[in-house]
């Protein structure tokens, strides 16, 4: 399970478990804001868990900690979390991921890091990985478009344009060229959203800062997906700073940016559509700040609950002949890259059946 702390307070070690003590700070709304739990059996739901200002948390069942409030912690706690191999992800007031404390690597492989570097410098290998990622992105976005084509219609032209763009992947000779096709594809995709999503009328993807509620929600969900992938990369011997589709960066785990691309349509976009379809979010759940928009604290808590349910949702994987969760799918895609680099197996990121 994941532990999400959306309130300000103190997180500390108590014996061999965690203890969260909520505190009020000036200007903070204390009503309904507190720790959010996934699978915390001592409470019937989030609202019950919120009722106590002090909560003891089951350390053995926590996979990662997400901190959204102003949290006080000390080195004793950090050492304790590291001993349990639990990453800690930090988010700022805007809901953006700002950093991660990763425990000492569970797995180390110098051979794999060398192969990662060689594949990054070998343009042929790098393009093979990039094309495989984008083929999966096109496939998974295509599954969404075909779903709404069957129910709403009016998407034939968009689907045909997508196929033409996909056919151009083989002609590109640089990662930048492939990213250009990906950008054109995303633009077409976003332009189709008003067919089934009223909130997307006249929508244009803006990043910094998000200029409307829809952009703010996409950015928040993308941050959650990114950190989930960082956590799964930590469980492997892959070095997260060596990437292929995105240029390796100095301040981000750029390999996670690569690996989440095929999952954005499935984990971010489909959740966003459901949140709006079920009226779980609306304009009331955002507040204007400077020249951008922010989620309210209450809306953030509701979305975190839905996000965790999505991470635990299982799908049948034919190649494994069993069902696995989306969290496990992220890790499996990490190992697919490992198998390609070390054993030369075909690299095929996850593509949903439809």
Query: What confidence score (pLDDT) does residue 54 get?
Result: 57
Q: Do 132 and 19 fall into the same domain?
A: no
Q: What pLDDT is recorded for position 58?
A: 79
Place of tokens 């799964």: 232
Residues 305 and 157 in one domain: yes
Shared-domain flag, residues 334 and 276: yes
Q: Is the dihedral of CA 200, 280, 100, 225 positive or negative?
A: negative
Does residue 67 lie within any of the structural domains?
A: yes
135 with 218, same domain: the answer is: yes
232 plus 122 within the same structural domain: yes
Distance CA 240, CA 249 (A): 10
Position 35 scores a pLDDT of 39
How many domains does the structure of the chain reveal?
A: 2
Q: Is 206 domain-assigned?
A: yes
Check whether residue 36 and residue 143 sit in a common domain. no
41 with 74, same domain: the answer is yes
Q: Is 95 inside a domain boundary?
A: no
Q: Are residues 189 and 315 in the same domain?
A: yes
DSSP-based helix, strand, coil % in the chain, nearest 5:
50, 15, 35
- The answer to whether residue 91 is domain-embedded is no
Confidence at residue 328, expressed as pLDDT on a 0 to 100 scale: 95
> Residue 320: is it exposed, middle or buried by C-beta count within 10 angstroms (0-12/13-18/19+)?
exposed
Note the pLDDT of residue 333.
97
Q: Does residue 352 form part of some domain? A: no
pLDDT for 24-80, tens place per residue? 655 554 444 333 433 333 333 333 333 244 577 778 888 999 999 889 999 999 999
For residue 174, give every residue at least 6 positions away whose Cβ sits within 8 Å of its Cβ, in sequence order, or none. Answer: 123, 127
Residue 146 and residue 239 in one domain:
yes
**Structure tokens given for 232:** 């799964």
pLDDT score at 36: 41
Whether residue 208 is found in the same domain as residue 307: yes
pTM for the whole thing? 0.88
- Same structural domain for residues 55 and 165? no
Range of the domain at 58: 2-86
Q: What is the mean pLDDT of each run of 10 residues along the chain (354 residues)?
A: 88 87 61 38 33 64 90 91 92 87 84 96 97 97 96 95 95 95 95 93 84 92 96 92 88 92 97 95 88 88 94 90 94 96 96 87
pLDDT attached to residue 26: 52
Helix (H) or strand (E) run with residue 148 in it: helix 123-151
Same domain membership, residue 51 and residue 163: no
CATH code for the domain of 282: 1.20.120.920
**pLDDT given for residue 40 in this prediction:** 35
- 317 burial via Cβ count (<10 Å: 0-12, 13-18, 19+): middle
Rounded to 5°, the CA angle 83-22-292 comes to: 95
For residue 59, the domain's CATH number is 3.100.10.20
Residue 351 lies in a domain: no
Domain boundary among 18, 52, 86: 86
**Cα–Cα distance for residue pair 138/38, rounded to 1 Å:** 32
């Amino acid at each position: 399970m994941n532990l999400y702390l959306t309130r300000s307070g103190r997180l500390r070690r108590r014996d061999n478990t965690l203890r969260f003590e909520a505190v009020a700070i000036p200007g903070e709304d204390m009503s309904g804001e507190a720790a959010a739990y996934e699978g915390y059996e001592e409470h019937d739901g989030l609202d019950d868990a919120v009722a106590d200002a002090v909560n003891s948390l089951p350390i053995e069942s926590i996979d990662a900690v997400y901190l959204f409030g102003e949290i006080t912690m000390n080195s004793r706690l950090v050492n304790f979390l590291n001993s349990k191999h639990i990453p800690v992800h930090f988010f700022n007031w805007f809901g953006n991921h700002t950093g991660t404390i990763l425990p000492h690597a569970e797995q180390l492989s110098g051979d794999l890091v060398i192969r990662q570097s060689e594949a990054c410098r070998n343009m042929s290998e790098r393009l093979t990985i990039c094309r495989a990622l984008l083929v999966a992105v096109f496939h998974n976005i295509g599954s969404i478009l075909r779903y709404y084509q069957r129910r709403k219609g009016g998407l034939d032209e968009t689907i045909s344009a997508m196929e033409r763009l996909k056919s151009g992947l083989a002609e590109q000779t640089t990662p930048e060229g492939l990213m250009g096709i990906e950008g054109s594809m995303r633009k077409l995709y976003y332009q189709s959203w008003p067919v089934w999503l009223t909130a997307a009328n006249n929508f244009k993807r803006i990043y910094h800062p998000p200029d409307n509620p829809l952009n703010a929600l996409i950015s928040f969900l993308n941050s959650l997906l990114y950190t989930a992938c960082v956590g799964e990369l930590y469980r492997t011997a892959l070095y997260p700073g060596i990437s292929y589709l995105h240029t390796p960066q100095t301040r981000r785990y750029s390999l996670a940016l690569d690996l989440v691309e095929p999952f954005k349509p499935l984990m971010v976009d489909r959740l966003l559509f459901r949140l709006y379809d079920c009226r779980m979010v609306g304009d009331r759940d955002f507040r204007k700040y400077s020249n951008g928009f922010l989620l309210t604290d209450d809306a953030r808590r509701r979305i975190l609950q839905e996000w965790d349910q999505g991470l635990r949702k299982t799908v049948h994987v034919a190649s494994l002949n069993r069902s696995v969760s989306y969290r496990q799918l992220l890790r499996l895609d990490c190992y697919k890259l490992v198998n390609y680099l070390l054993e030369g197996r075909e690299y095929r990121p996850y593509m949903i059946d439809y």
